[in-house]
Structure 1
Amino acid sequence: MTSTTTLAAGLPAEYRERLMPHAREVSFETGARLFEEGRRADRFWIVRTGTVALDLHVPGRRAAVIESLGHGELVGWSWHFPPHSWHLGAETTSPVRAWEFDAEAVRVLCAEDPDFGHAIAVWVGRVVAHRLHATRVRLLDLYAPYGSGSG
């Protein structure tokens, strides 16, 4: 878990307080698919308990797990950027309890309050940058002749 992907460290308290009334509690069993790469991104989650694996479709191979997310971490960022299609897939690797948010409702909040919108955009942007780096490292570990060299 990194400070860029957790709600508590990634989003200032005043904006967390504005976001959380729009959450609904959800639960998923182990092995539940939250979303598939290329499909419509219309919601996102913050993990309360359990773990979610992000994966990337690799033609002719099993999906590559990019990162595992846990307590307090944002699952899903594609909802924030047009065309609102998932860039990765996600599956629970243990039972998960999470807060679920309707993406359209949060985008409306962002449009109504530019300061809130900016805070969400910075937080989500940091998550995107972190996931891009994690994806690069994982793919190099899997497919480069000498791995990423990060280990």
Structure 2
Amino acid sequence: MTRAPRINALPAPHRERLLAMSTDVSFETGHRLFDEHLPADRFWVIRTGAVNLDARVPGSTRPAVIEMLGHGELVGLSWMFPPYEWELGAEALSLVRAHEFDAAAVRALCEAEPAFGYALTQWVGQVLSHRLQATRVRLLDMYAPHGSGVL
């Protein structure tokens, strides 16, 4: 399966506008970027390192890893859609250097500059679509009867 669209999928003027709003941050291995059901007030684009997206599983002490994200990938989607609460959790798998964005400021720019908002929404939608498709494929790998021809 191909990787989700990276930040370079945004047209250059919009990518530059977005990156101008970022703050450079770093996270040590094992650092929790966010947890399920907490306010989604920021998001990140990874420069170096890797982040695991995960979900809590009742009765388990460790969350289940859903997907690993790397260079150029968007960490966090819930910041864009009400109620602005994380649907998953995220943890640094290695030392991570990333661009961090204030979600409210980016949403405000999306409203103020419709062309920017449209481009950003298209990119986030493509990332979301890709992640849903990747999850579907993983579920079929786990649950489809072997040799059934189901993909």
Q: Same fold (TM over 0.5)?
A: yes
- Is 1:81 the counterpart of 2:81 in the alignment? yes
Q: Over alpha carbons, which structure has the higher Rg?
A: 2
Change (3 A) 1:74 1:105: same
Give the match for residue 100 of structure 1: 100
- Calculate the TM-score normalised by the size of structure 2: 0.88
User: How many percent identity over aligned positions?
Assistant: 59
Give the match for residue 34 of structure 1: 33
What does 1:1-151 correspond to in 2, within 5 Å? Answer: 2=3, 4-8=4-8, 10-61=9-60, 62-141=62-141, 144=143, 146=145
Q: Which ranges in structure 1 are unaligned for 5 or more consecutive residues? A: none
Aligned residues: CA RMSD: 2.0
Partners in 2 of 1:11 and 1:51 — Cα distance? 21
Equivalent position SS for 1:47: strand
Q: Which ranges in structure 2 are unaligned for 5 or more consecutive residues? A: none
Partners in 2 of 1:78 and 1:51 — Cα distance? 19
**Are 1:55 and 1:66, in contact at CA under 8 Å, matched by a contact in 2?**
yes
| Count of residues in Structure 1 that have an aligned counterpart in Structure 2 | 147
Q: How big is each residue's C-alpha offset from its partner over 1:61-90, in whole Å with a ceiling of 9 and x where there is no partner?
A: 342211111111110111001111111110
Deviation at residue 5 of structure 1 after TM alignment: 3.0
